[in-house]
């Protein structure tokens, strides 16, 4: 099992910090669990606590989360064939981001995915009601400032309501952050999605081909 990163991304570290320090573990748990369910496999699913305990503590920023998803690769080799991470470069323009977003939609139509999003100021104060729509100032700031990252499980893409295209995401922050069922809706085309994480199931390990 290995961690695949799309070639041009590893320039500096991405620090996955958020409103919950374990949001990365919750996201990985949900993504891996959904992958098993889709494949019809009944197998061991590590809990979010097991993710936190299983990933070397030296790779976890105290009170903030994991330094990079590559550090979860060794732990994940016990559970899946491959973990693939697609990361959008900060320097990419809007046109290239649209390609990245379309790739995300194509991938999510085939396999479960977890995503990370940039927590610009208005998102950090967002209460989960209505559709989250970042303002122009936030969109401008994200081009040169580094914001905290939040990990969520993608549950719906390419959805339109009242003329607004959005993603539906399941978060980990509780009712003070998402709606009563733990879901939020985020407007598309705003360059907020930072990375996409998918899992390849090891069918041979579980006697499936």
Each residue's pLDDT expressed in tens, for the chain with a length of 209 residues: 333 344 333 333 343 334 467 888 888 888 888 888 888 887 778 888 998 888 888 777 766 677 777 788 778 877 777 788 888 876 657 788 889 999 999 999 988 899 989 889 999 888 888 899 999 999 888 888 888 888 899 999 889 999 999 999 998 754 444 444 678 999 999 988 989 988 777 545 544 43
Between the two ends of the chain, the Cα-to-Cα distance in Å is 17
For residues 100 and 195, give the distance between their C-alpha atoms in angstroms, rounded to a whole number: 9
157: three-class secondary structure by DSSP: strand
Residue 92's pLDDT is what?
58
Within 8 A by CB and 6+ apart from 152, the residues are: 23, 27, 114, 115, 116, 117, 169, 170, 171, 172, 184
Within 8 A by CB and 6+ apart from 157, the residues are: 104, 105, 108, 109, 167, 168
Q: pTM of the entire structure?
A: 0.78
Residue 169's pLDDT is what?
93
Residue 202's pLDDT is what?
57
Fold category of 2-202 in CATH: Cathepsin B; Chain A (3.90.70)
């Amino acid at each position: 099992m290995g961690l695949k990163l799309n070639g041009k991304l590893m320039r500096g570290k991405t620090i996955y910090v958020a409103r919950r320090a374990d949001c990365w573990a919750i996201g990985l748990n949900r993504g891996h669990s959904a992958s098993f369910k889709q494949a019809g496999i009944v197998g061991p699913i590590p809990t979010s606590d097991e993710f936190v305990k299983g990933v070397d503590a030296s790779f976890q920023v105290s009170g903030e989360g994991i330094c990079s998803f590559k550090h979860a690769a060794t732990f994940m080799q016990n559970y899946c064939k491959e973990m693939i991470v697609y990361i959008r470069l900060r320097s990419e323009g809007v046109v290239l981001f649209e390609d990245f977003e379309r790739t995300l939609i194509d991938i999510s139509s085939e396999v479960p995915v977890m995503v990370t999003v940039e927590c610009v100021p208005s998102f950090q104060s967002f209460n989960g009601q209505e559709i989250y729509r970042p303002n122009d100032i936030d969109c401008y700031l994200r081009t040169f400032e580094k914001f905290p990252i939040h990990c969520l499980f993608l549950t719906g893409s390419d959805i339109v309501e009242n003329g607004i295209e959005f993603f539906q995401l399941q978060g980990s922050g509780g009712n003070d952050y998402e709606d009563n069922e733990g879901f939020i809706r985020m407007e598309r085309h705003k360059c907020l999605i930072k990375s996409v994480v998918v899992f390849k199931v090891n069918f041979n390990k579980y006697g499936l081909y």
